[in-house]
Structure 1
């Protein structure tokens, strides 16, 4: 029953936009979360706050990167790896060449 109540509370008929209630609807989205806009008894779109949208986009990107990493690890062969020192030797980079650089921060 709670999911039915939640669905009803999170839907808004498009006619409310036509009646000039967009500001109120947007305030509710910011305060309570996403709203589904209904048109002719069908879901037309979903309203999200910019923060919630960005959170979702970040989560999707994280999932894509995780899937890519997992796919790469399936084909990982330790025998084909090249050490950091070997790469530096191949490129002619010496330890003192790297001392003037700031630390790199990875997210």
Structure 2
């Protein structure tokens, strides 16, 4: 968890935007990753760098996929599963046949 000093450094009063300091604030966001914009001593919004935003979205997507996979596995009938070896045999393949092929990512 961030320290109190870190939290204070990562806040910016909204009136700084009105004073023409948006460019400076955006540069700080690029360095720190995020700034909390305060209005009337209340957090109004959070500014995130594009990299930080992408990282958070990726984490959310990964968490959703993990939840979905966990749910499916909890309801799976493992007696109906087929081993990798059985799939290879049915398709007339071996593990050696797939060496050097590009990996496929399933979601």
The TM tier, using the shorter chain, reads 0.7 to 0.9
Aligned to 2:42: 42
List 4+ stretches of structure 1 deviating above 6 A.
none
- Aligned equivalents of 2:77 and 2:38: distance in 1? 52
Aligned to 2:13: 13
Specify every segment of 5 or more residues in structure 1 that has no aligned partner in the other structure, as ranges: none
SS in 1 for 2:3: helix
- 1:1-107 equivalences under 5 Å are 3-82=3-82, 95=92, 103-106=102-105
TM-score w.r.t. length of structure 1? 0.77
Task: Measure how far apart 1:79 and its partner are.
Answer: 1.7
Please, what is the CA RMSD of the aligned residues? Answer: 2.4
Task: Measure how far apart 1:70 and its partner are.
Answer: 0.7
- Aligned equivalents of 1:103 and 1:29: distance in 2? 38
Distance 1:29 1:74, change over 3 A: same
Task: Measure how far apart 1:33 and its partner are.
Answer: 2.1
Q: Count residues in correspondence.
A: 97
